């Protein structure tokens, strides 16, 4: 399974991503949560690589292998459905944590093989950090593989905000790497 290099990750010009450790591949026997809204089910293998940026923000690449193309497509479609309700789910998490329910989720790009989203919200400690932030998630399915790339931008850093204008290009780059 092919991963993007740190230099190919979104916002690298600002974040200057550095891997936290070598990629690891594990067998999967359960659903893998990718954010507060979505998880990937049905995978037989999972390769993960985490990064840290110049402003101590996180990024991650997850590449899931499936038994066949149909299983990967089902997982991708499930991810689309889950992310379709991410704004409602995020606001429910915020309400439960007694944080202002301000989550705004938008789809930022689509290609034949992938979809990208952006979520602006006051994060709740857990899978996300607490406090104002924008989370970006990219999902691409190609054959028996589903790749998920995600990174966060935290308010209060001196980093220039990431522009989602090139999200389609990233989806294409991930598809090309998988293909």
Which pLDDT score, from 0 to 100, does residue 159 have? Answer: 67
For position 154, what pLDDT does the model report? 87
Domain segments of the chain: what residues? 6-178
Q: Per-block average pLDDT, block size 10, for the chain (179 residues)? A: 84 91 88 94 95 91 96 98 97 95 97 96 85 94 96 80 91 90
CATH fold label, 6-178: Protein Transport Mog1p; Chain A (3.40.1000)
Range 71-90 burial, b when 16+ CB lie within 10 A, else e:
bbebbbebbbebbbebbebb
54, 160, 39, 163: which is closest to 109 by C-alpha?
163
**Model pLDDT, residue 55:** 87
Give Cβ neighbours of residue 152 (< 8 Å, ≥ 6 apart).
Answer: 57, 58, 59, 123, 128, 129, 133, 134, 135, 136
pLDDT of residue 158: 63
pLDDT at 141: 97
């Amino acid at each position: 399974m092919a991963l993007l290099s740190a230099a190919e990750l979104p916002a690298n010009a600002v974040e200057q991503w550095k891997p936290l450790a070598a990629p690891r591949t594990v067998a999967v026997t359960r659903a893998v949560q990718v954010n507060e809204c979505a998880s990937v089910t049905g995978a037989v293998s999972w390769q993960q690589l985490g990064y840290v940026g110049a402003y101590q923000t996180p990024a991650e690449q997850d590449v899931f292998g499936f038994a066949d193309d149909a299983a990967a497509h089902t997982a991708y479609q499930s991810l689309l459905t889950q992310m379709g309700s991410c704004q409602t789910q995020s606001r429910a998490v915020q309400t439960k944590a007694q944080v202002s329910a301000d989550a705004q989720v938008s789809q930022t790009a689509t290609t034949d093989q992938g979809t990208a989203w952006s979520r602006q919200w006051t994060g709740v400690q857990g899978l996300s950090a607490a406090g104002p932030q924008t989370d970006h998630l990219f999902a691409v399915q190609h054959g028996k593989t589903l790749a998920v790339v995600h990174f966060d931008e935290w308010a209060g850093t001196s980093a220039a905000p990431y522009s989602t204008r090139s999200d389609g290009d990233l989806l294409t780059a991930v598809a090309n790497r998988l293909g």
